[in-house]
Amino acid sequence: MNQLDQLKRHTTVVADTGNFLQLAQFTPRDATTNPSLILKAVQQVEYAPLLADTVKAHRGLPLDQVVDRVLVRFGLEILQVVPGRVSTEVDARLSFDRAATVARAHRLIGLYEAAGIGRERVLIKIASTWEGIQAAAELEREGIHCNLTLLFAFCQAVACGDAGVQLISPFVGRIYDWYKKSAGAAWDEAAMAGANDPGVRSVSQIYSYYKKFGIATEVMGASFRNVGQITALAGCDLLTISPDLLAQLQASEAPIERALDAAAARDAVIERVTLDEAAFRYALNADAMATEKLAEGIRAFAVDAGKLDQMIQAI
């Protein structure tokens, strides 16, 4: 049995791509997208007609409405391949605007529902800022489920759990990147691999906390740099994986054992954490890695959203 099939025995596998033509060979249950992945997809020749057709069909609408229709069009294509859910992201430039995030989520869900897709098959992806988490709490109360992304700090996970969000996406690879760069020449790759990887440790801590206290929010490790990070999180609720790494898993038959276990987490000695807005902001500020990577991630997604805007305007 290859590693991908072994992994599926322990964890729900999700494809992290906007390239829906690649999905079928890996048979993931769900798929996630983000502005960077959609931008990458629409620059490929296979997807150029889809972008052009969608833009032409909605010419005359405000730019932000056309963009949302492009995002949903990709989501609809993905949902023809996967049996589960697709994550579609709210514009990162709204990451600090609760009301605007809620309004954009309503529009995205409305477009999916108009196309005959029930909201149970869509996750609205929102950055894990305080404003984003509060927007998600409001949306969840309406039955609109959310995927809180750009999550680097334990305090973000605590706040998401308290808000009752459906799912979080802690970013394993970007945490790893920060610590490796910070250590410089002192970084020992072998010693910091597997369960000792700082990104893996972060997800393991969140997973154990949620299971210990019966928090229903799903944990989906994301942003992987290598197969070792993935196998070290076997047993996590879900893992969203790029096509390149899915192919590597599919090509190997090395054994994979369960690494995270809900029953063991329930027996662990863990302290419950309570955070109001001030405590959240202070805890996030105290975590240099999370503060820097959250800001960097929002900036990068905003840049790619702007590039997509430009492509659409040029059609």
- Tens of pLDDT, residue by residue over 187-239, are 999 999 999 999 999 999 999 999 999 999 999 999 999 999 999 999 999 99
Asked whether residue 315 is assigned to any structural domain, the reply reads no
Residue 241 has φ and ψ, to the nearest 5°, of -130, 140
Alpha-carbon distance of 143 to 134, in angstroms, equals 15
pLDDT reported for residue 35: 84
Asked whether residue 68 is assigned to any structural domain, the reply reads yes
Task: Domain count for the chain, please give it.
Answer: 1
Asked whether residue 255 is assigned to any structural domain, the reply reads yes
DSSP per-residue letters across 207-264: HHHHHHTT---EEEEB--SSHHHHHTTTTSSEEEE-HHHHHHHHH----------HHH
Average pLDDT over every residue of 295-304? 97
The alpha carbon of 56 is separated from its chain's Cα centroid by a whole number of angstroms, namely: 30
Length of the chain: 315
- What range defines the domain where residue 272 resides? 3-307
pLDDT reported for residue 148: 98
Q: What is the dihedral of CA 141, 145, 150, 156, to 10 degrees?
A: 40
The mean pLDDT value of the chain amounts to: 97
Q: What is the pTM of this model?
A: 0.97
Please identify which residue in the block is written with the tokens 């949302």: 68
Asked whether residue 99 is assigned to any structural domain, the reply reads yes
By the 8 A CB rule, do 195 and 259 touch? Answer: yes
**Cβ density class 191-206: b for 16+ within 10 Å, e for less:** ebeeeebbbbbbbbeb
Asked whether residue 49 is assigned to any structural domain, the reply reads yes
100: Cβ–Cβ under 8 A, 6 or more apart, which residues?
Answer: 94
Alpha-carbon distance of 14 to 239, in angstroms, equals 6
The string of pLDDT tens digits covering residues 26-75 is 999 999 999 899 999 999 999 999 999 999 999 999 999 999 999 999 99
Alpha-carbon distance of 164 to 155, in angstroms, equals 14
The string of pLDDT tens digits covering residues 111-170 is 999 999 999 999 999 999 999 999 999 999 999 999 999 999 999 999 999 999 999 999
What residue type is 104 in one-letter code? R
Nearest alpha carbon to residue 122 among 76, 168, 170, 159: 76
The first and second tokens of residue 56, run together, are 């032409």
Asked whether residue 312 is assigned to any structural domain, the reply reads no
Asked whether residue 313 is assigned to any structural domain, the reply reads no
Of the candidates 8, 125, 211, 212, the residue annotated as catalytic is 125
Q: Annotated catalytic, 125?
A: yes
**CATH number for the domain harbouring residue 74:** 3.20.20.70
pLDDT over threshold 90, residue 9: yes
Q: Name the percent of the chain lying above pLDDT 70.
A: 100
Asked whether residue 314 is assigned to any structural domain, the reply reads no
